[in-house]
Amino acid sequence: REETYDNIAPVRYASNGVTAYVSIMRGCDNMCSFCVVPFTRGRERSRGVASIISECEQLVQEGFKEVTVLGQNVNSYRDGDNGTSIDFAELMYRISQVSPNLRIRYSTSHPKDCSDELLQVHAEQANVCNYIHLPVQHGNTEMLQRMKRTYSREQYLALIERTRKIVPGVSLSTDLIAGFCDETEDEHRDTLSLMKLVRYDHAYMFMYSERPDTYAARKFTDNVEEDVKKRRLQDIIRLQSDISLELNQAEIGNEHIVLVEGRSRRREDQLSGRTDTNKMTVFDRRDYAKGDYVRVRITDCTSATLIAEPISRA
């Protein structure tokens, strides 16, 4: 009931020495009907802000250049132990002040808690990456109600519009579930239409699989045939692949700053890393090294990777 990650120094196996993960909370209060997390990790408990900042400072001293802040729903973070209430937007701002050379990302967020104040932090702090993961799960309002997601299709699309207005050039990703209980063909098509409207840079796409003890397992029937689930998932994957390729092709000629994470998996004479917008990029090694910030110009792409030429250290 009370356990957080305060004063626990995490062990990082196989770390690349450049990027690290900082847990800021445990558990979840949202009770989405398909999700088992509240039953396995309990209710939300936020870690104290001083402990989080201390760990980030230690990571900078150890040479790390990027942290990803972790929680089941980081947007609902609250630290009120010292008589003040610090929300996630304020926490992100404070982490951004640790070092201008420390990039900050976060995962995972719930759309219902994504505030304009948080979006302003993205817009104003150069080292808070212009990449936001906003899991929609489905494109149909009635299905979202069955999933207990607490927002409608229209509310989600309004959030996307507001996000792009406050944070121009932001990169968006999402989670999508195919074949949830009672899903119809029309509801499935609503997911595809929402994807076409939003045009995500990336998506994590899944076929529904029932989890024990969840609301869905107790109240609904997993009644979409397996072959139908697979076909609908493939519809989603194909559409997302097409959208990702189109968005990456539009990057050709643009310049980005890439944080080098290591050598490319395919070629020893190339390096790989991510742009501020979280797009994997590969380019010739030359005299650059892991941990460098490198300005690059995009020259080609696939649906998953940008191909670039390096310009200079940044």
Kindly state the helix (H) or strand (E) to which residue 67 belongs, with its residue range. strand 66-70
At residue 206, the 3 state secondary structure works out as strand
Q: Count CB-CB contacts under 10 A for residue 158.
A: 12
Identify the bridge partners of residue 202 per DSSP, sorted by sequence position.
173
Give the pLDDT confidence score for residue 29 in this predicted structure: 86
Give the pLDDT confidence score for residue 82 in this predicted structure: 56
Encoded amino acid at 84, one letter? T
Give the pLDDT confidence score for residue 14 in this predicted structure: 43
Is residue 154 within 8 Å of 145, Cβ to Cβ? no
At residue 96, the 3 state secondary structure works out as helix
Rounded-to-integer distance, Cα 122 and Cα 88, Å = 12
- Locus of tokens 């004479």: 269
- Locus of tokens 């030359």: 286
Rounded-to-integer distance, Cα 131 and Cα 105, Å = 7
At residue 131, the 3 state secondary structure works out as strand
Q: Buried b / exposed e across 270-290, counting CB within 10 Å, b at 16+?
A: bbbbbbbbbbbbbbebeebeb
CA atoms within 13 A on the CB side of 192: 17
Rounded-to-integer distance, Cα 126 and Cα 103, Å = 8
Rounded-to-integer distance, Cα 314 and Cα 308, Å = 15
Q: Which two tokens stand for residue 245?
A: 């390729």
Give the pLDDT confidence score for residue 143 in this predicted structure: 98
- Locus of tokens 């937007």: 89
Give the pLDDT confidence score for residue 41 in this predicted structure: 79
Q: Which two tokens stand for residue 55?
A: 């760990």
Q: What is the 3-state secondary structure (H, E, C) of 240-291?
A: HHHHHHHHHHCCCCCEEEEEEEEECCCCCCEEEEEECCCCEEEEECCCCCCC
Give the pLDDT confidence score for residue 38 in this predicted structure: 79
Per-residue pLDDT of the chain (314 residues; tens, 9 = 90+): 555 566 665 555 447 889 999 999 888 888 899 988 878 878 888 888 998 999 999 999 999 999 999 998 999 999 865 556 899 999 999 999 999 999 999 998 999 999 999 999 999 999 999 999 999 999 999 999 999 999 999 999 999 999 999 999 999 999 999 999 999 999 999 999 999 999 999 999 999 999 998 999 999 999 999 999 999 999 999 999 999 999 999 999 999 999 999 999 888 899 999 999 999 999 999 999 999 999 999 999 999 999 999 999 99
Helices 116-124 & 88-96 angle (0-180, nearest 10): 10
Rounded-to-integer distance, Cα 27 and Cα 18, Å = 27
